[in-house]
Amino acid sequence: MAIAPRVGYLAVDCKRSGFRVSSYTIQKKGNMSTNYFFDTEFIEDGKTIDLISIGIVCEDGRELYLCNSECEFWRASEWVWENVLSTLVKKSHTNLESRFIDPELWHVKAAIKAAILDFCKDTKPKFWAYYADYDWVVFCQLFGTMMDLPDGFPMYCRDIKQYCDDLGNPDLPKQGKGEHNALADARWNKTAYEFLRSVEKG
């Protein structure tokens, strides 16, 4: 299914984009790296992590927000239903296509992977997240194993919380509304990083 354009989101039609989902090399512009701030929402049970949604904000202001139509919603806890899925999925609907509140956001993982590759192309990406461990695992799993990460992608994620601790743990800016929405959280991650950079520079 093609991803329809919408204001504020990157749109990618995987069939028209011309790249192969199974093999992709990020083209770097010199040695300059580009910061990408991301967040994911997911279902986890101590054994597996199942992606619900991912939001990515580039330092240049571009944004990407997509949801995983292959997510096994039945595994979600009540907390996840109340705090994450309630704004994305109509719980009472058994028909998968009719349960999505905004169907344009929902795509299979292969399409999400392709959109991320297109979003990060022509850059040397540096990824940042807040309490990043689980976010990074579920991000990497979109590509397969760690060895399947595209050439040019780092094999680790930078953690904004660790950065904060290294600077003496200053109070970070308040997020306000939107917590547990992957795109809103990714935007806040960028804000928190920029705040910490200002603290570091004095």
Q: Which of the listed ranges 9-18, 55-64, 144-153 does the model predict with the highest average pLDDT?
A: 55-64
H-helix or E-strand spanning residue 165: helix 160-166
Instruction: Compute the radius of gyration of the chain from its Cα atoms.
Output: 17
Tens-place pLDDT, residues 150-171:
999 999 999 999 999 999 999 9
- Look at residue 18 and tell me if it is in a domain: no
* Cβ neighbours around 134 below 10 Å, total: 13
- Look at residue 79 and tell me if it is in a domain: yes
- Segment 85-103 shows an average pLDDT of 76
Whole-model pTM: value is 0.84
Q: How confident is the model at residue 90 (pLDDT cuts 50, 70, 90)?
A: confident
- Look at residue 175 and tell me if it is in a domain: yes
Provide the CATH number for the domain around residue 106: 3.30.420.10
Instruction: Determine the pLDDT at residue 15.
Output: 39
Instruction: Determine the pLDDT at residue 17.
Output: 37
- Look at residue 178 and tell me if it is in a domain: yes
The lowest-confidence range among 24-33, 59-68, 117-126, 179-188 is: 24-33
Residue 30 clears pLDDT 80, i.e. is over it: no
Residue 132 — φ and ψ, nearest 5°?
-80, -10
Instruction: Determine the pLDDT at residue 92.
Output: 67
Instruction: Determine the pLDDT at residue 93.
Output: 55
How many residues in the chain? 202
Q: By residue range, what is the domain housing residue 189? A: 31-201
Residue 65 clears pLDDT 80, i.e. is over it: yes
- Look at residue 8 and tell me if it is in a domain: no
- Look at residue 111 and tell me if it is in a domain: yes
Instruction: Determine the pLDDT at residue 20.
Output: 33
DSSP of 98-162, one letter per residue?
A: HHBSSGGGEE-HHHHHHHHHHHHTTSEEEEEESS-HHHHHHHHTTTSSGGGSPBTS-SS-EEHHH
- Look at residue 6 and tell me if it is in a domain: no
Q: Mean pLDDT in the chain? A: 85
Tens-place pLDDT, residues 98-153:
588 898 999 999 999 999 999 999 999 999 999 999 999 999 999 998 889 999 99
- Look at residue 14 and tell me if it is in a domain: no
Regarding predicted confidence, which is higher, 92 or 177?
A: 177
Question: How many structural domains are present in the chain?
Answer: 1
- Segment 19-28 shows an average pLDDT of 41
